[in-house]
Chain A
Amino acid sequence: MIEVHNIQKAFDGNQVLKGITCTFASGQCNLVLGGSGTGKSVLLQCIVGLMKPDIGSITFDGTTFTNNKVQIRQEIRRKIGMLFQGSALFDSMTVFENTEFPLKMLTPDMSREERRDRVEFCLKRVGLENAGNKMPSEISGGMKKRVGIARAIAPNCTYLFCDEPNSGLDPATSIKIDELIYEITHEYNITTVVITHDMNSVVEIGDHIIFMHKGLKLWDGTKDEILGAKVPELREFIFSSSLVRAAKKVDDATEGGLEALASEPLSEV
């Protein structure tokens, strides 16, 4: 479980995070939802330690991360896997080497054969068993995201952070990436935090959702509760989504509406 308490962050006097307090439950897909410029990515960077919050604390399974000793922060970081918005694969390495990299760096006791087996397993898990020899420049955006996920889970991460995993992907690939994140979260009991502004993701994978607006947390709940939320900013956000507008039309015409739409197989959506 990740506990975020009263995180505040300002840049040149501009208060980007205004005291965020929330909890990300273990073994669940936790979504941080919000429009552009609401501070989602800054919150994520504060949580993973790429940015230091001005005020507030972050705790990973009871161990304080913020302002703790470097060794303890390192220990926590080694349990973190992260999928970056642009995948952040190492250009000079093949897909296999990218996936193997954290194992090489973080688990010196692992033999070469054990590493190879683990990498092959992870690549197979994300459906890229035949792409190991390819360079990042030779694969598509969706494949890069898959490699990013494989690299994140290779060292058996406890926490998985995904920064807008759907950005730059077509809707069908986005859904597949969402499904992969969801499956991996539940399969390995990972605490997953996904930063998104995509309502498709909410419908697909949102076990627990936090809605942010102008640096504040305005709402949290589940995907079943979100359509009934009374927060005006959230309602405006939800109903500006084409998917939800389309679903509303379906809702008017058919029984089940959005729920029915979400439960249908991908090919029929």
Chain B
Amino acid sequence: MVKTFGEFILFLQSMLTRTERVKILWQRTLDEAILIGIDSIFIVMIVSAFIGAVTCVQIAYNLTNPLIPKSTIGYMVREMTILELAPTITSIVLAGKVGSSIAGGLGTMRITEQVDALEVMGINSASYLVLPKILAALLMFPLLVILAMGLSILGGYLAGTLSGAMSASEYVEGIRTDFIPYNIAFALIKSVIFAFLVSAISAYKGYFTKGGALEVGAASTGAVTNSIIAILLADYVLAAVLL
């Protein structure tokens, strides 16, 4: 465990030494941003909209006390979405999609000697291959989380009003009640930390793949599992420290 952590730190360090020219790094980061961000929009939209909808319906189902105003449903959907569901669930979804893609891609490059080909050319393969992925993840995760927040609240609105659980005005009143802007900042800080964990852990697992196709699959699985565990641990630590 300690050895693995040490190797992980050295891996991150090697990525930051002998970096490529800024122009190449920027171009590579944009390419990766498309793969990590743009290509993930659809799944994030679907997941976040339905999570908002389900959250709304379930809160409405449990909120039977006539003394509690219906607008509380909107308030609770907003708080749950911003504080927890949008950053954490989106990052877990991205750990599955992006994490496995990063680990699988790098693992395949490793076993087919493409990483060695870069090294022989005198290119720092960790810097060329991994740094843009991490930068792109740091850039795209917060944007996807913002999208998820909006769609989740919209999903809750549609589910609540279409099912007749509450009126549109009650929902809107709820989501405007006691709004704390810091919660948005907290969610974005979480998304940046999660982005780093998912991209760095997945890259580490893929970059050091040894063997053949089976090991690439194992690296992908390991990347997703470890990323999710890291997200959940970091989620607790951040909540304890920042809230």
Q: Give A residues with C-beta under 8 Å from B.
A: 48-50, 70, 74-75, 77-78, 80, 82, 84-86, 88-91, 102, 104-106, 108, 161
Contacts and interface: CB of A to CB of B under 8 A. Distances in A.
A50 B108 CA distance: 18
Interface residues of B, number: 16
A106 B24 CA distance: 12
Contact of B113 (A84, A102, A104): A84
Nearest to B121: A102
A80 B116 CA distance: 13
Interface in B24-75: 24
B122 A74 contact: yes
Contacts, number: 49
Given A70-B18, A105-B20, A105-B24, A88 B121 contact: no
Contacts of B113: 84-86, 88
B170 to A, nearest CB: 51
A70 B120 CA distance: 13
Contacts of A90: 114, 117
A103 B161 CA distance: 60
A78 B24 CA distance: 18
Given A50-B120, A82-B117, A108-B21, 10 more contacts: A49-B119, A77-B121, A80-B120, A84-B117, A88-B114, A90-B114, A90-B117, A91-B108, A105-B121, A106-B121
Nearest to A73: B122
B24 A84 contact: no
Contacts of A85: 113
A49 B120 contact: yes
B121 A86 contact: no
Given A70-B18, A105-B20, A108-B21, A77 B122 contact: yes
B121 A50 contact: no
Interface in B78-117: 108-109, 112-114, 116-117
Contacts of B108: 91
B123 interface: yes
B125 to A, nearest CB: 11
A91 B121 contact: no
Interface of B: 18, 20-21, 24, 108-109, 112-114, 116-117, 119-123
A217 to B, nearest CB: 23
Nearest to B116: A50
Contacts of A86: 112-113
15 contacts: A50-B119, A50-B120, A74-B18, A74-B122, A75-B122, A77-B122, A80-B120, A80-B121, A84-B117, A86-B113, A91-B109, A91-B114, A104-B24, A105-B121, A106-B121
A108 B108 CA distance: 28
A14 B121 CA distance: 29
Per CB-CB distance, the 5 closest pairs between chain A and chain B, nearest first, are A77-B122, A88-B113, A88-B117, A78-B122, A84-B113
Contacts of B117: 82, 84, 88, 90
Contacts of B112: 86, 88, 91
Q: A80, A88, A89, A102 — which one has the most chain B CB atoms within 10 A of its CB?
A: A88
B133 to A, nearest CB: 13
A20 B18 CA distance: 32
B10 to A, nearest CB: 15
A50 B121 CA distance: 11
Nearest to B124: A74
A233 B102 CA distance: 46
B18 A48 contact: no
